[in-house]
Amino acid sequence: MFGSRKQKIRQEFDNKLLSSIDLAKQEWDHAKETEEAVSDVDEEITAQTVLARQKYLFLYREARLRKVHGQRIQSSVFDY
């Protein structure tokens, strides 16, 4: 009875965090592919890749601190 609202809110934000991690991983993978595909890599492309990586790692660390466990498989694991 008591604290159920708090648990629902925590679960909602944990799900949002997992979705954000999945999106950040996709963006990082895309940035890496772009950097590898371009023959003339400039500082901007490298900076975008580094930024995407740091965003992903930040969200990942936040999930570990919050002890979030996803019940789903990350979409980046699947090969289409």
pLDDT single digits (tens) 23-77 = 999 999 999 999 999 888 899 999 999 999 999 999 999 999 998 887 766 655 5
**Residue 2: is its pLDDT beyond 80?**
no
The first and second tokens of residue 9, run together, are: 């809110």
- Report the alpha-carbon distance of residue 6 to residue 18 in Å, rounded: 18
Closest CA to 78 of 39, 25, 36, 37: 25
pLDDT of residue 3: 72
The pTM is what? 0.79
26 within 8 A of 59, measured Cβ to Cβ: no
pLDDT of residue 76: 56
